[in-house]
């Protein structure tokens, strides 16, 4: 048992070490991407022919859905992963469960942990890590430069400082699940230069009716409708607390694609531009 | 012309069923063995058990990949499926006998809620420091709940089954409220971990977990046959059972501790796998009668076989991804159980 536990720890630490500085003897040709933002980077690097499977959060570009789906990034199946015969696994930080990673480590398949974060530096870091793991560092630098430039030109937006934005992750039977600090939503709202109205808690939590009224958002930001749980704009605006906020009065519900908005990957520049345009269009 | 059997099917069930029952023990044993072999031989990685066996017999070295798939992925998983399935089914059978209530199940005496509380506590407060923080604290949660329950329900050395049932419901509500508080302070990734945990899965089965949970499940299960006669006597009612020489108080204490250990450890390693604890004992009562001497061992065999097969379905149906096993046991088991109830209405009583 002790041996198993130590094997496990070394498995985790190997994964971490590999994440910071892996160089394979030969470039990997059968890559599994566990994370939507990683998949986007692989496509942007033009390396998609080396991709053999992806996780369930990888939905862009559309053709990625033709690849086998290894499931949710935090619930990876060891045998499922082995079934696609990978020689490299790129996993978002937080991918797991640890048991799966430990078993994979025994098979000596390299696992690269890609750092996550919600700002410009994190996007650069992600691109460089993926490019290095794919053994295409030059393309990685080029991509990082162009994505960085896109983000820079998009972030120099003005006149949005006073926009108060409420990001609503979901609304179920009138309960609003809102984005607080330390979330991808907060990150993108900050990058666009607007204000996230929820500063009282970290992560995504239910926001009370009175707190919504006090927060007085100008715009309600949501992910694009789709799936059976999605709520139409009319229902959001009809919410008793939202209805009395400036956003509710002006009917300002802004919808964006979830992976574009919150992925913090190669399309983040575009996400900022789109979000800024959407916020500018809002009446409040 | 209808034969005598067709005219009155009830008489067939009434007499001495020990011959049928013995045959059922062997049948279930064979079913379990077969399902274990199939589960060991099947999986998305395509490693062949037979090829591996013949390689080993001929002294050839297995490839690293095949060795990991067979020995570190499939084998602990199949074994864990057996342990958890047997634990849930036997716990259900024991509790139903103890409470003389066909609805009793580990969920009802607060064991599962206590385990959930422990697991969430570990996920939210402790983080996933070591792989087995979650199982161990889930087990502690189940254990503490059960001891509390037993203390509440015991007055002057006598345990009231009715108080225990009611206290179980109250403790469940309390544990779930505490879980709710923890869920509220959890961040979204912890929340998703928790959601997956509640749906149940055998995916995290490793040898180290089997070393931890195996004895806590297996030892109580091996002790359950000693409860069989007592539980049979208890069907007459507590007073009558006492009169025929059964030490009712000791029986109750042993049964509760056994269930707490087995279910606590099972829930801890596999999350919330519902339904096995209710369906398996009922199916067996229909097939081989309510005699606990057979019911308990049959429950262990069928529960284990059922869970191993359900887990096999989870692993292959959407490969390379995996389904949570709780979904599979409920989706297949619930309609099947309803169908049995409709066909055999009236004979589901204990």
The ipTM assigned to this model is 0.72
Distance CA B99, CA B307 (A): 25
Q: Given an 8 Å threshold on Cβ–Cβ distance, is B320 in contact with A103?
A: no
- Examine the pLDDT at A48 and tell me if it is beyond 70: yes
B169 reaches A (C-beta below 8 A): no
% of residues, chain B, pLDDT over 70: 90
What pLDDT shows up at residue B40?
Answer: 93
What pLDDT shows up at residue A229?
Answer: 63
- Examine the pLDDT at A198 and tell me if it is beyond 80: yes
What pLDDT shows up at residue B61?
Answer: 83
Tokens found for residue B321: 């991804």
Planar angle of CA A233, A237, A245, nearest 5 degrees: 140
Smallest CA–CA distance from A9 into chain B, residue: B130
- Check if the beta carbon of residue A180 is closer than 8 Å to that of residue A202: yes
Q: Given an 8 Å threshold on Cβ–Cβ distance, is A80 in contact with B131?
A: no
- Examine the pLDDT at A23 and tell me if it is beyond 70: no
B188 reaches A (C-beta below 8 A): yes
- Check if the beta carbon of residue B288 is closer than 8 Å to that of residue B294: yes
Q: Angle formed by the axes of helices B75-99 and B161-185, to 10°?
A: 140
- Check if the beta carbon of residue A224 is closer than 8 Å to that of residue A192: no
List of chain A residues whose C-beta atoms are within 8 Å of the C-beta of residue B64: 106-108
Residues facing A206 on adjacent strands: A177
Query: Which pLDDT tens digits describe chain B residue by residue (350 residues)?
Result: 444 444 444 444 455 667 777 889 999 999 999 999 999 999 888 888 888 888 888 888 888 888 889 998 999 999 999 999 999 999 999 988 887 777 777 777 778 888 888 888 887 877 555 556 777 787 788 878 888 887 888 777 677 778 888 888 899 899 889 988 888 777 767 777 777 777 788 887 888 888 888 988 999 999 999 999 999 998 888 888 889 989 988 898 888 888 888 888 888 888 878 788 888 998 898 888 889 999 999 999 999 999 999 999 999 888 788 888 888 888 887 888 788 778 766 554 44
List of chain A residues whose C-beta atoms are within 8 Å of the C-beta of residue B196: 72, 74-75
Q: Angle formed by the axes of helices B133-153 and B111-121, to 10°?
A: 140
Is pLDDT larger for residue A11 or for residue A139? A139
Q: What pLDDT, in 10s, does the model give residues B66-84?
A: 888 999 899 999 999 999 9
Tokens found for residue B101: 């209530």
Is pLDDT larger for residue B345 or for residue A241? A241
**Local confidence band at A18 (pLDDT 50, 70, 90 cut-offs):** very low
Average pLDDT (A39-61) is 94
What pLDDT shows up at residue B131?
Answer: 58
User: Which residue of B130, B193, B315 is in closest CB contact with A79?
Assistant: B315
- Mention every residue, 6+ apart, whose C-beta is less than 8 A from residue B17: B288, B289, B291
% of residues, chain A, pLDDT over 70: 89
B71 reaches A (C-beta below 8 A): no
Query: Which class would CATH give A2-153?
Result: alpha beta
- Examine the pLDDT at A283 and tell me if it is beyond 70: no
Chain-centroid distance of CA B171 in Å reads 21
List of chain B residues whose C-beta atoms are within 8 Å of the C-beta of residue A205: 184
For domain B16-343, give the CATH superfamily.
ABC transporter involved in vitamin B12 uptake, BtuC (1.10.3470.10)
Q: How far is A138 from chain B (nearest CA, A)?
A: 33
Q: Given an 8 Å threshold on Cβ–Cβ distance, is B128 in contact with A98?
A: yes
B75 reaches A (C-beta below 8 A): no
What pLDDT shows up at residue A230?
Answer: 73
B321 reaches A (C-beta below 8 A): yes
Residue among B259, B227, B225, B224 nearest B139 (CA)? B259
Question: Among residues 156-195 of chain A, which lie with CB inside 8 Å of chain B?
Answer: 182-183
Query: What pTM did the predictor assign?
Result: 0.79
The DSSP code for A114 is E
What pLDDT shows up at residue B277?
Answer: 86
A169 three-state secondary structure: strand
Report the number of secondary-structure helices (H) and strands (E) in chain B: 17, 2
Q: Given an 8 Å threshold on Cβ–Cβ distance, is A79 in contact with B69?
A: yes
Provide the strand spans (E) within B128-246.
154-155, 158-159
Residue ranges of the domains in chain B? 16-343
What pLDDT shows up at residue B311?
Answer: 93
The DSSP code for B164 is H
Residues facing A202 on adjacent strands: A181
B44 reaches A (C-beta below 8 A): yes
What pLDDT shows up at residue A27?
Answer: 85
H/E element holding A237? helix A233-238
A53 reaches B (C-beta below 8 A): yes
Question: How does the average pLDDT of chain A come out, rounded?
Answer: 86
User: Which residue of A5, A106, A205 is in closest CB contact with B72?
Assistant: A106
Tokens found for residue A140: 């990685």
Pairing of strands B154-155, B158-159: antiparallel
B64 reaches A (C-beta below 8 A): yes
What pLDDT shows up at residue B273?
Answer: 83
Planar angle of CA B266, B269, B270, nearest 5 degrees: 80
Domain A164-281, CATH number (from 3.40.50.2300, 3.10.20.600, 3.40.50.300, 3.40.50.1980) = 3.40.50.1980
What pLDDT shows up at residue A16?
Answer: 45
Phi, psi (deg, nearest 5) at residue B162: -65, -45
Residue ranges of the domains in chain A? 2-153, 164-281
Q: Is the sign of the CA dihedral B264, B270, B271, B277 positive or negative?
A: negative
**Cβ–Cβ contacts within 10 Å for residue A123, how many?**
26
Question: Among residues 191-210 of chain B, which lie with CB inside 8 Å of chain A?
Answer: 192-193, 196, 201, 203-209
Planar angle of CA B153, B176, B164, nearest 5 degrees: 15
């Amino acid at each position: 048992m002790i041996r198993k536990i130590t094997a496990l720890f070394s498995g985790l630490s190997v994964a971490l070490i590999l994440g910071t500085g892996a160089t394979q003897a030969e470039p990997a040709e059968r890559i599994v991407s566990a994370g939507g933002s990683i998949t986007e980077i692989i496509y942007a690097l033009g390396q998609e022919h080396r991709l053999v499977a992806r996780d369930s959060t990888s939905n862009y570009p559309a053709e990625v859905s033709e690849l086998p789906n290894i499931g949710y990034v935090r619930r990876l199946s060891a045998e499922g992963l082995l079934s696609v015969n990978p020689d490299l696994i790129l996993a978002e930080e937080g991918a797991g469960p640890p048991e799966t990673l430990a078993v994979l480590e025994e098979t000596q398949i390299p696992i690269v942990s890609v750092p996550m974060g919600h700002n410009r530096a994190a996007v650069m870091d992600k691109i460089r890590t993926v490019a290095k793991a794919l053994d295409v560092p030059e393309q990685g630098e080029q991509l990082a430069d162009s994505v960085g430039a896109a983000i820079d030109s998009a972030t120099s937006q003005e006149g949005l400082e006073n926009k108060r934005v409420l990001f609503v992750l979901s609304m179920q039977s009138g309960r609003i699940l809102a984005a607080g600090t330390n979330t991808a939503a907060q990150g993108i709202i900050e990058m666009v230069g607007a204000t996230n109205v929820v500063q009282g808690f970290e992560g995504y939590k239910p926001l009370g009716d009175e707190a919504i009224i006090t927060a007085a958002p100008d715009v309600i930001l949501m992910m694009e409708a789709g799936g059976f749980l999605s709520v139409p704009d009319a229902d959001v605006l009809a919410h008793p607390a939202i209805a009395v906020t400036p956003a509710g009065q002006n009917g300002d519900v802004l919808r964006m694609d979830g992976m574009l908005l919150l992925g913090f990957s190669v399309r983040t520049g575009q996400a900022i531009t789109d979000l800024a345009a959407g916020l500018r269009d809002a009446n409040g | 012309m209808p034969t005598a059997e067709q005219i009155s099917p009830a008489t067939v069930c009434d007499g001495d069923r020990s011959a049928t029952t013995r045959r059922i023990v062997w049948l279930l044993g064979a079913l379990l063995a077969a399902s274990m072999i199939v589960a060991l031989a099947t999986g998305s990685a395509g490693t062949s058990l037979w090829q591996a066996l013949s390689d080993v017999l001929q002294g050839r070295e297995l490839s690293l990949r095949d060795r990991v798939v067979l020995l570190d992925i499939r084998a602990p998983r199949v074994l864990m499926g057996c342990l958890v399935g047997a634990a849930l089914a036997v716990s259900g059978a024991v509790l139903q006998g103890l409470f003389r209530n066909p609805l009793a199940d580990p969920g009802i005496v607060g064991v599962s809620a206590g385990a959930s509380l422990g697991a969430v506590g570990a996920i939210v407060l402790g983080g996933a420091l070591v792989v087995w923080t979650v199982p161990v604290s889930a087990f502690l949660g189940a254990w503490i709940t059960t001891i509390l329950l037993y203390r509440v329900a015991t007055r002057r050395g006598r345990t009231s089954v009715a108080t225990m049932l009611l206290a179980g419901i109250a403790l469940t509500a309390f544990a779930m409220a505490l879980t709710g508080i923890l869920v509220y302070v959890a961040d979204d990734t912890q929340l998703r971990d928790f959601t997956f945990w509640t749906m149940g899965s055998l995916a995290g089965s490793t040898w180290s977990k089997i070393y931890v949970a195996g004895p806590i499940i297996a030892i109580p299960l091996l002790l359950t046959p000693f409860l069989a006669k007592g539980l049979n006597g208890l069907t007459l009612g507590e007073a009558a059972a006492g009169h025929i020489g059964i030490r009712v108080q000791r029986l109750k204490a042993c049964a509760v501790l056994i269930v707490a250990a087995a279910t606590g450890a099972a829930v801890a390693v596999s999350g919330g796998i519902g339904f096995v604890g209710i369906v398996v004992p009922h199916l067996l009562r229909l097939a081989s009668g309510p005699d606990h001497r057979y019911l308990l061992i049959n429950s262990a065999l069928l529960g284990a076989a059922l869970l191993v097969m359900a887990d096999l379905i989870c692993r292959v149906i959407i490969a390379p991804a995996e389904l949570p096993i709780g979904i599979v046991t409920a989706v297949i088991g619930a309609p099947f159980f309803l169908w049995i109830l409709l066909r055999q209405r009236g004979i589901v009583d204990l």
